[in-house]
Amino acid sequence: MKKKIWSIICLALMLPIMVVMGVTKIVTSSATATGDTVKTLIDTLTVPIDAKAIVGVFAYAAAAATLTTGEAISGILELESDDMNISPFKIPLEVVTVLTNGAVAYNPRIWPVNIPVTGGAKIKGSMTMDMAQTAALKGRFGLIYDV
């Protein structure tokens, strides 16, 4: 309960800053199988043509109810682009969320950044999990733009 309240407080504090900065675009990847400890392309996102900078990044992986001990608990998101200079960019994933019988309430951490971008550039997001797994993990990431 305390963690959920803290997440709500953090989001409430971030939203006014994001509005003042003029953030109006959030682009999110599809949910794609992460693979094991091998770097796996999750998705390629296109930078909005009017974007000036990436000001926030979030990423997470979620598992079915079959996750067991000794399996992936986290990993790394890596962003790369052939169209602009963004590499090396790596952040840790949140701890893997396990889906059970019901819905999971989950608020991913938004990492504040300030990365100048080129409108129309393609950004590839890849994930590498920290341990082998038997569960079918899905990964997703998102980029928040200042326009």
Helix (H) or strand (E) holding 71: none
The answer to whether 53 touches 123, Cβ cutoff 8 Å, is: no
pLDDT tens for each residue of 61-103: 877 656 565 565 788 999 999 999 987 899 988 777 666 655 5
Check whether 3 has a pLDDT greater than 80. Answer: no
Question: Can you tell me the distance from the alpha carbon of 44 to that of 22, in angstroms, rounded to the nearest whole number?
Answer: 24
pLDDT at 80: 95
pLDDT at 6: 47
**Band (11; pLDDT cuts 50, 70, 90):** very low
Q: Is the pTM of this model over 0.85?
A: no
Q: Which of the two residues, 81 and 29, has the higher pLDDT score?
A: 81
In 3D space, the residue among 18, 67, 26, 33 whose CA is nearest the CA of residue 47 turns out to be 26
Check whether 8 has a pLDDT greater than 50. Answer: no
Question: Can you tell me the distance from the alpha carbon of 20 to that of 143, in angstroms, rounded to the nearest whole number?
Answer: 18
pLDDT tens for each residue of 108-137: 788 999 999 999 999 999 998 887 776 677
In 3D space, the residue among 87, 92, 81, 77 whose CA is nearest the CA of residue 141 turns out to be 77
Check whether 104 has a pLDDT greater than 80. Answer: no
Check whether 141 has a pLDDT greater than 60. Answer: yes
pLDDT at 131: 78
In 3D space, the residue among 58, 117, 132, 122 whose CA is nearest the CA of residue 91 turns out to be 58
The answer to whether 127 touches 33, Cβ cutoff 8 Å, is: no
Bridge partners of residue 124, in order along the sequence: 44, 80
Length in residues, the chain: 147
CATH of domain 2-146: 2.60.120
Question: Can you tell me the distance from the alpha carbon of 129 to that of 132, in angstroms, rounded to the nearest whole number?
Answer: 7
pLDDT at 89: 92
